[in-house]
Structure 1
Amino acid sequence: VLHRHGLPEKSMDEIRPQASHGASGLLKLGTGITPDHPDYMQWRKEFLDEYSRCYADQTILFDGVNEMLEALVQRGIQWGIITNKPMR
C-alpha cells in the first residue's frame, strides 16, 4: 500500500513493535495519519483489503514454537490460538 502511494516501505524492525497495535498503529507508522485524519478510513480499508490477500504469505513460527506444540500434544495438553485479528 505504501509503495502504491509513493511512500517508503518500512523494515520488519520498524513494523514489529507496531504490529500488535493493528491497522491504526501500522498506518500511523507508514503514513503518519491517525484515526482522526479525514482520509484514515480510506487508508484503513485499502490496508485491510491488501492484508486479507497476503497476510500468510511470509508467515513463519517463532523459534521453538513447533517443538513446544509437539510437546503439548505428547503430554495431552490442549492448546489454542488467540489473536487480535477481528473477523471481517
Structure 2
Amino acid sequence: MSARAVIFDLDGTLLDTLEDLADAGNNVLAALGYPTHPMESYKQFVGDGVAMLVRRALPEDAQHDFDRALERMREEYATHWKVKTRPYPGIAEMLDALVAKGVPLSVLSNKPDKFCQLTMEHFFSRWPWAAVMGESEKYPRKPDPTGAKAIAEKLGIPPGDFLFLGDSPMDVKCALGAGMTPVGATWGFRERATLEAAGGKVFIDRPQELLRLI
C-alpha cells in the first residue's frame, strides 16, 4: 500500500460510545413509555446517524412518535456523551505513532457534528487533526463519499493514498466510493462478516496494526 493519510470513523473505531448511547436511548424510551433494549442491541442501531438510531429503537407501532423521541434523544445525549465513553485500548499509542510518522489524521463520522466536535475536543485534543467532520447539512452521511472526498481535497492528497479505518459497512462503502482503501476495525460494533459483505478486504484486530499499512 502507498497510504499517506488516514481517515477514522469515531464511534466504534476510536471511541467506545455504546454505553452512553444505549443509556441515552433507553432513558428516552422509558420516559415515553416504550420498552427499553439491552446494550448489545444498540450495536445494530448505531452507525447511520442519531435519527436512524431513534427510528430503530422505537417499536414498529410507535413510529408516529419519532419526532418527539428524536428531540428527546438529542437532549438526553447532550448530558450523556462523556459519562462512560472512552477511547479503545491502544488508540492513544497508535495516534502517537502516526503523528511521529507525519501522517495526517482526520475524522469522518455520522455522529451529529456538534457532538462530534465536542467529543474530539474532549478526548483527542492533544493530537493534531487535519479535518473533523460530523453529520451536518453541508455533507451527506456516510456511505455517501462526499465528505471523504472533501477531506482529500482539503489535504491535497489523492484519495487513493488514504486509508479509511472504520467498524461499519457504511465506512467500507464510503471508502470504496471515494476511491480510498477501507480498513475494518474488528473491535468495533459490527461483526467482520458484515464488513466483508460490504466489500471490505483489509482488517486489523488491534489499533497498532494500522501502522503496518502505512
Q: What letter is aligned with 2:57?
A: G
Query: In the alignment, what sits opposite 1:13?
Result: 40
Offset, 1:46:
0.7
Task: Kindly report which structure 2 residues correspond to 1:46-85, keeping only aligned pairs within 5 A, or say none.
Answer: 46-85=72-111
TM-score, normalised to structure 2, is 0.35
Distance in 1 of aligned mates of 2:56 and 2:77: 16
TM-score, normalised to structure 1, is 0.74
Distance in 2 of aligned mates of 1:52 and 1:29: 20
Q: 1:40 aligns with which of 43, 59, 66?
A: 66
Q: What is the alpha-carbon root mean square deviation over aligned residues?
A: 2.3
What's the % identity of the aligned pairs?
A: 26
Offset, 1:38:
2.9
Residues 64, 17 of structure 1: alpha-carbon distance in 2 compared, 3 angstrom cutoff: farther
Note the residue ranges of structure 1 that are not aligned, 5 or more in a row.
none
Residues 23, 86 of structure 1: alpha-carbon distance in 2 compared, 3 angstrom cutoff: closer
Offset, 1:54:
1.5
Offset, 1:4:
2.0
Q: What secondary structure sits across from 1:85 in the alignment?
A: strand
Q: What secondary structure sits across from 1:20 in the alignment?
A: coil
Distance in 2 of aligned mates of 1:50 and 1:87: 16
Distance in 2 of aligned mates of 1:5 and 1:23: 17
Distance in 2 of aligned mates of 1:32 and 1:7: 8
Give the count of matched residue pairs: 86
Runs of 4+ in 1 over 4 A off after TM superposition: none
Distance in 2 of aligned mates of 1:79 and 1:15: 28
Correspondence 1:28 to 2:65: no
Correspondence 1:4 to 2:67: no
Residues 55, 24 of structure 1: alpha-carbon distance in 2 compared, 3 angstrom cutoff: same
Offset, 1:72:
0.7
Q: Deviations over 1:9-64 (max 9, x none)?
A: 32331101221022333223432259xx3321111111111112211221111232
